[in-house]
Structure 1
Amino acid sequence: MSEISTASADPVEDGPDLARARGGDDDAFTRLVEPLRRELHAHCYRMLGSTHDADDALQDALVRAWRGVAGFEGRSSLRSWLYTVATRTCLDTVKGRGKRALPIDLGPASDHALVGDIPRTDVEWLGPYPDAGLEGGPASRYEQREAVELAFVAALQHLPGNQRAALLLFEVLGFSAAEIAATMDTSVASVNSALQRARRIIAEKVPSRTQQQTLRLLDDTRLREIVAGYSSALERGDADALVALLTEDVTWSMPPMPHWYRGVDAVMDFAVSVPLTTCGSWRHLPTSANGQPAVACYLWDEAAGAHLCWSINVFALRGERISEITSFIGREHFAAFGLPGSLA
């Protein structure tokens, strides 16, 4: 694996663990990469749009890095070299499958409730990201959470793999165009062209105000009130309380269900027809996903005698109201968040 040249070097590279890892010491290699594992995983998620794909890609990348560490000469920082390995691994994954999508990518919004909507299994769906524990100080956490926001990751999926990688390496990770060219085995001119095209598409699809900017204007107490108000409204079946939390142009989508709703009238028609009346008893746990407030939703199951995990609902806010609800349906999402499978 070739190295890119950077001016900075990680302090750990001057220690004994690097020499031991080069000599085949697996424990030393683990100690070297462990502090970087979380941010590398977030990078893989941004590239692939799936926590499960990110798990697989990171594992594959670390195996590749372990096999290649004997040839690591320290001309780049260890961090940069590992990002190179992870990026190339993700690019291989991108080549093997199509982009991940949200319902909004499939067609126009529905203007009335569709009871009994059927999941689409022929679509590779975007998934939520459990962002708790991102590494670094307050500024670093802010930047990393902004870079995993749902709108940004969804927009990335509209880019070819090379544009996606170039944008992330340049805008999020601070690589130079020359470093990116070395990472991707291409020319600086090709990297600059990819960046220009990627920025144009991202600008079209990502709101000018990020969720991190919005959330910084809300105190923690008010944010908890909004999340608790949503949970309470569903648990009580209170349509008036729910509508009071929403913007006029709110959207609600529920991957893997293909249909979605835009506008408070359509959203409330769906809410009153399905989750507030048809589904049954709900319970909720607050969480965080993609740098945004979220709740884990549990639906009563009579046979189990408990509320079973149902969806991770991720909110986008505008001011103090909810402008987007993305309900990622599926119990497979819960383990990554460290959430229980059921509530007694």
Structure 2
Amino acid sequence: MLILPSIYETEEVVFLLRKLAMAYLIRGNELELAVSVGTVLGEPAAPATHYALELLARKCMMIPTWNLAADLLLMTPDNELQLVKLCAFCPGCAEELNDLHEKCKLPTVEECMRLAETAQADGNTFESVKYYLLSQEPEKALPIGIDFVKEHIGSSDWSLDTVYPVLDLLSYIRTEKLMLHTCTEARNELLILCGYVGALLAIVRQYRSIVPALYEYTSQLLKRRKVSVPLKIEHLSEELDAWRACTQSINQSSEESPCTPPSESQRTVYATLLKRLKEEPLRGPVGPDYVTGSNLPSHSDTHLSCLTGSKIQGPVFFLEDGKSTISLNDALMWAKVNPFSPLGTGIRLNPF
């Protein structure tokens, strides 16, 4: 006998299909189409639509079309923090910045300096970082934010949702300020911290292909740069090995021979890692990005990924040196969890 689904069940299926469709569009980097579809679908698709708008605004930061980026962010609810990031990253004279601040309903750069000093005196780290970044001396935010992150990571019971908001905000410091000679140590520490936190975020988001690369990137920076951060190369290696050992069965096909079970110490390390990831601070769909053409053969001019050393299949993304390449899929996932280039230059990655 044919049993028809109830109206409730039908509505639930439709809702899940809409959600899945939006996730596929965003993970395929079809951002304009995702916004269009989300607008038609309305409220059920609102969170995904707003996330696509935020990614489109990041794309506009690279072109750059600052006013268009602001317009896109103003279409989203609870947009103050996103507008702060936009204004913090925008270069220009005080007059130009104040015009953008006014559009985004933020204080002037002069007022932001006063608010930052007040917040710092009150011991409010997040607010002082936020307003220093919006002022004419954004580099003053670096030691405040970095010390906050290092202090927490140095403790045994820290979690990702505690350090990520400050670190994410800091990453929007204007590039020309981050590149100042006086900011060399702070820049190196920021890159290392963003690399490590990016690896943890990649684990949460199931960006499996870039997790080893993010750990390796962080380890190489620790090895080559003069920094003082509470991270050890040996510990990063232990975490990566534990993650691999405890998740290897997920991607194993039924035809492969059984994998070696993780050791007790690896289970302990992985359990500690999961405790830090209990609250995911990122929005957006979970799962690897997969753009159109990812299954097509590589070009006649073969490109090797600087992350994996293997031949790139599908669309290629060139890094800032004009020579190094990674797959567009990896570039998108990397940029969503770590805003800085894999080359360790301090240049923001923007493949959107």
Which TM-score band (shorter chain)? under 0.3
From the two aligned structures, give the one with the greater helix fraction.
2
User: If the length of structure 2 is used for normalisation, what is the TM-score?
Assistant: 0.24
Bigger share in strand: 1
Task: State TM-score, norm by structure 1.
Answer: 0.25
User: Looking at both structures, which has the greater relative contact order when contacts are Cα pairs under 8 Å and sequence separation is at least 6?
Assistant: 1
